[in-house]
Each structure stands twice: as structure tokens, then as C-alpha cells.
Amino acid sequence: MRGSHRLALFFLFPSLIFVGVFTLYPIFESFRLSFYRTILTLPWLGQKMVGWENYADLWTDPVAVQSLKTTIIFVAVTIPLELLLGLGMALVMNEVFRGRGLLRAVVLVPWAIPTVVSSQMWRFIFNDRYGLFNVVLFGADTARYTAPLAEPGPALMAIMAAEVWKTTPFAGLIILAGLQTIPDELYESASIDGAGAWQKFRHVTLPLIRPALLLALLFRSIDALRVFDLVFVMTQGGPADATNVLQFYGYKKTFAEGMIGYGSAVAVGVFFISLALSLTYLRLLRESRLEGATR
């Protein structure tokens, strides 16, 4: 069944309006604004075209560079952990046993919790006086209680722990969907050929869930790149900008300081990093699918 162009346009029209006004136009507008100097608190300056100046400033702005590094560390540490833990969860959830349904339900709990709530929850867990973190580590020995969120290194680690906790189930479910597409016969014939559990995992499971793994990698990386809620609630980017990730920096420049032009340059930067990453993954994904098709 094929439809005419007019009919398709009729069905797509409302969708096009919303997407056009609230996502497509804004992205182009951000591009445009990134070449201007506009400061909300100094409206008399108007909009002045400054060319690449905002980008040049960005390059020499130590906080921006630091923020880029922090974001890269955040993504590079959380994603492998999420995929590894998610793979473990998926392997358990894929087995047939009593209570599997319950397990699949329980895993959805961290996913369903609003990020703001899980941020407050982890902020409380890492509290220097009443937090579970200190109780677990030091018991009643209150003299040794620490305040992880008040020190640069530990604060970043705390935020990464909170991120991994909340998003691992999502990675696990995507990988589980991949595991479920593997036909049992493959494992049976591998058994007949005398393959052990590890060999089956290495030579049957892993190659066949490669697309699912890449997909989880894609979705999770894109999402981790735009981490915001955790930072806003747990540390406000501090201490000493140690957790000031890109999206939070852009938010602060644009909405707290009113530096529209400069903030837009940050936004465009985040956009291109995210775009480059997704294009790379999509290419890997297509290659692995083609491989799967010709095998």
C-alpha cells in the first residue's frame, strides 16, 4: 500500500510543526547566535556579530577545557562499567529459572526513578554525617567519616557511581533483547562440537550480541554526554569545577550569566561532539549488521 505525497504530508503535518518550531529552528538559531555577542544583562550592547570569537574564547577558557575533560572522563568511565554490569545482568535474566519474572521487574526500578530523585538519594547516601556510605565503610567510627561530595576527585566518582547505578538496567535490557534473538540450536550444536561454557560465550554469544552491545553503547554514550540533573542536584558543578560537565557549563553561561552568544558556542560544541560520536557508532553498527547478514 502506497500513499500519495499529499496524504502523507497531511498525517505528518502536526508532527512537523512541533519538531520544526521546538527542535529544528532552535538548533539553527543556536548556530547563528554562537557567532554573536549578546549578553542578557547588558541589553544595550545589542547583538554584535563577532565571527569565530566565541569559539576562540572557548578554546582558551580554562573552565571550558576542564569541563570538556571532565565530560570525557565521565563518559569513558561510566559507559564501560554500565555495559559490563549490564551484560552480567542480561546473562542472568536470560536464563530460565523460577523468579526470573520478578528479577526483570526489579531491574526496572532504578530506571523508573526520576533522575532528580536518584540524585537527591545519592547525595544523601554520600552525606558526611548521616550517609549510608560512611556507615558501610566506617560503621560507628564517626571520626573517620568523610564528605565525598566536598572533594574534587571523590565528588566526580560519586556522580559517576550514581549514574552507573541508575542506567545499568537500561543497558542490561537492550543487551537482553539481543541475547533473546540467539536461537538455542546454535548453543546445542556448539555443545555437540564439545564447546565449554566460556567457549560458547566467546564464540557464539559475544559475536551475535555485538549489534545490541553497540546500540547500548550508542544510546548510553549520547545520554551520558548530556548529563545534567545529577550535577545540578549533587554538586552544582563543584567543588572547584571538578564536576562541571559541558551541559552544566552551557546552562550556567546561558541561563545564570545570560551570555547567550558564548553559551550557544558551548551548546554547538556539545552538539558536534555528540554528532561525531553517534555517526561513528552508527557506522560500526551498520558494519556489524552487514557482517551478520553475510555470515
> Residues 51, 112, 144, 183: which binds another protein (CB under 8 A)?
112
Site residues for another protein, window 172-201 (CB under 8 A)? 173-174, 176-178, 181
Q: Which three cell numbers, joined as nine digits, stand for 69?
A: 575533560
- For the bound state, the minimum distance from the C-beta of residue 128 to another protein, rounded and expressed in Å, comes to 10
Single residue of 225, 231, 237, 265 touching another protein by CB under 8 A: 225
CB of 243 to another protein, least distance (A): 15
Of 99, 183, 184, 198, the one binding another protein by CB under 8 A: 99
Let me know the angle formed at the C-alpha of 137 by 131 and 139, rounded to the nearest 5 degrees. Answer: 75
Residue of 213, 235, 247, 265 interacting with another protein (CB under 8 A): 247
Of 55, 187, 201, 228, the residue at the interface with another protein (CB under 8 A) is 228
Q: Which of 110, 154, 207, 238 binds another protein (CB under 8 A)?
A: 110
Transcribe 38-103 into DSSP letters: -BTT-GGG--EE-TTHHHHHHHH-HHHHHHHHHHHHHHHHHHHHHHHHHHHHHHHHHS--TTHHHH
- 42 touches another protein (CB under 8 A): no
Q: Binding mask 141-160 vs another protein (x if CB under 8 A, - otherwise)?
A: -x--x---------------
In angstroms, the CA 137 to CA 186 distance is: 46
Q: How far apart are CA 225 and CA 14, in angstroms?
A: 30
Total number of residues that touch another protein (CB under 8 A): 100
Q: In angstroms, what is the minimal distance from the CB of 56 to another protein?
A: 20
Where are the extended beta strands (E) located within the chain? 36-37, 48-49
Cα–Cα distances (Å) from 10 to 15, 22, 209, in that order, read 10, 20, 39
Backbone φ and ψ of 48, nearest 5° = -115, 130
Kindly indicate which of the ranges 60-68, 75-83, 85-93, 150-158 contains the residues binding another protein, using the contact rule CB under 8 A: 85-93
